[in-house]
A and B are shown apart, each in its own frame.
Chain A
Amino acid sequence: VQLVDSGGGLVQPGRSLRLSCAASGFTFDDFAMHWVRQAPGKGLEWVAGISWNSGSIAYAHSLKGRFTISRDNAKNSVVLQMNSLRSEDTAVYFCARDSHSSVGAIGGYFAHWGQGTVVTVSS
């Protein structure tokens, strides 16, 4: 199993950024996928999750609709579109694979993670 995160960088407040996670080594459309972030020196914060067929999607309530998660099963990839970025969105963003196929399935766990991609929001 391999997850490779990309797309991070330095962006000004109010702008947008698109993160990608390329998956390999497993049947991608058997699993839900998530994004988790970690601000500098802080703990882990779950950001968003998407079911195997995009039929169920969930977001952290704190994001207030600014982020959109999507997946392309033909390309084995998951994307996080981040709009109206704020300084508090500065973090390392990790994609992670759920143990289940659906978001919200009780008892899911994240056994596989990408290496993370750094997002810095600053003017």
Chain B
Amino acid sequence: DIQMTQSPSSLSASVGDRVTITCRASQSIRTSLNWYQQKPGTAPKLLISFASTLQNGVPSRFSGSGSGTDFTLTITTVQPEDFATYFCQQSYSSQYTFGQGTKLEIK
């Protein structure tokens, strides 16, 4: 199975900071990488598909990059509503593995 490893597992930031989250796949997944945001008690929300395609309605401060095995999610200017947990997911294989998550907390 393809393993997805996110880093860091948690991150403290202040409003206005630039934040980067990394996701690494155990083998090449081309650009079959999705990013989700989840807030407590709610379902995940899709932010980015195909490694870098921003979903409609998602603020442009979010961006994704990468291909092959290494990917990043960047928030250029963190806003109060961005404090949440972020997950990557591969859709290169039919096992659809998620990363373990990165919790973005207020510093």
| A contact residues vs B (CB 8 Å cutoff) | 34, 36, 43-46, 49, 56, 58, 60-61, 94, 99, 103-104, 106-111, 113-116
Contact = CB atoms under 8 A, between A and B. Distances in A.
Interface residues of B, number: 27
Of A49, A109, A111, A115, most buried by chain B (CB within 10 Å of CB) is A109
A46 B92 contact: no
Interface of B: 1, 30-32, 34, 36, 38, 43-46, 49-50, 55, 87, 89, 91-101
16 contacts: A34-B96, A43-B99, A44-B87, A46-B95, A46-B98, A58-B95, A104-B93, A106-B30, A107-B50, A107-B92, A109-B46, A109-B49, A109-B91, A110-B36, A111-B46, A114-B43
Given A45-B98, A58-B95, A107-B32, 16 more contacts: A43-B98, A43-B100, A44-B44, A44-B89, A46-B89, A56-B94, A104-B93, A104-B94, A107-B92, A108-B91, A108-B96, A109-B49, A109-B89, A110-B34, A114-B43, A116-B43
